[in-house]
Amino acid sequence: MSKVLETRLEIDLGALETNFNLLKSYLSPKTKMMGVVKASAYGTDSIIIGKHLVKLGAQHLAVAYIDEGVRLRKAGVEVPILVFYPQLEEIQNLVGYQLTPSVYTHHFLEGLCQELKHHQVDSVGIHIKINTGLNRLGFELTELDSILEHIHSEKKIKVAGVFSHLAASGNKDEVEFTKAQISKFEEARSYFKTHLNYTFKSHICNSSGILNFPEAEFDMVRAGIALYGYGNNPTEHKMLKAVASLKTVIAQLRTIQKGDSVGYERKFKAEKTSKIATLPLGYADGISRIFGNGKAHVLINGKKAPIVGNVCMDTLMINVTGIDCEEGDEVEVFGKNHTVLDFDIEQQTIPYEVITRISQRVTRVLV
């Protein structure tokens, strides 16, 4: 059997719609939704997901890089697309495909102003990013005057949005910190509302922000991981449905005896007669070696089976002792019936990382 048929990532648009509608139910009718489809829509398919989000009612999309936005435009997506990390060398595509850059440094803002002198456009909308406590990217509150000076001096620049990013909106122990971030953002938002003679969008809420801080929805929210079925705490996880299900089949079964080993470096040694199944899925497909040696479980015929030994490049082995199964039987690595949290039993990482790592050689299939 070919790898295409054996191993696939199933994309459930019904689950996406359920998650989208749940998030919308937390918002006032006038609040706009930005669907985040960066990193191939969190490891799924940005074009399939992006188009469906627009169909569901998302008024904006967001990507990490300009080339991601270009692919969406070429696929026929027409809604505004925010680019979180635009690069100056790709400004021509940014302008040509009418993408909206996030601006978070004077270096980029100055470079953008210089580049726009060579383009025949009336104006380019930007979203100004404010650092309110994540301390990753963004202007400080002390820089607002200098930002405004740049904007007033360049007629081709228009502020389409002002935004920030919450650091711990899903953590109940950090509520006061999150509220402080929201307060700082309100200060920046008020500043621009006072000094600009036109309106713009304001957004700070990410997925957990939507669910936990309704007072901070402002004009728009950015839905990311929650759209794909995962949150940042157990309560959020239970509310959502997994969009992506990674499935494969048993390629081979064998019985080994006490003392026999499995895999490279003989990391697993049987303490008794055991039944071992090999799956056509490995670290080249996105299943990291950190999940070997009992750190993760898969689901087969309703039973959990641990990964044993080291994960190989194209294969991994599971212990199916006591499980009724045959070669060719389907295995759910993670998905609806066996979430990423069930798979990653020792919480070696986070759902974001697991689902975005699934490589492009794994065929995406709509269900």
**33 marked ligand binding residue:** no
For 224, phi then psi, to 5°, come to -120, -100
Residue with tokens 């692919």: 71
Element (H, E) at 15: helix 13-25
**Amino acid of residue 20:** F
Alpha-carbon dihedral sign for residues 26, 31, 37, 39: negative
Helices (H), 26-138: 38-43, 46-56, 66-74, 91-96, 106-116
Q: How far apart are CA 11 and CA 221, in angstroms?
A: 24
* Residue closest to 136 by CA, chosen among 88, 84, 171: 84
Structure-token pair, residue 90: 């790709």
**Amino acid of residue 81:** I
- Cα distances (angstroms) measured from residue 300 to each of 171, 247, 320, 326: 33, 10, 9, 10
Q: How far apart are CA 119 and CA 88, in angstroms?
A: 14
- Cα distances (angstroms) measured from residue 356 to each of 81, 131, 333: 20, 26, 14
Residues serving a catalytic function are 38, 264
Q: How far is CA 14 from the centre of its chain?
A: 18
**136 marked ligand binding residue:** yes
* Residue closest to 126 by CA, chosen among 201, 220, 46: 201
Annotated binding-site residues for substrate read 136, 313
Annotated binding-site residues read 136, 313
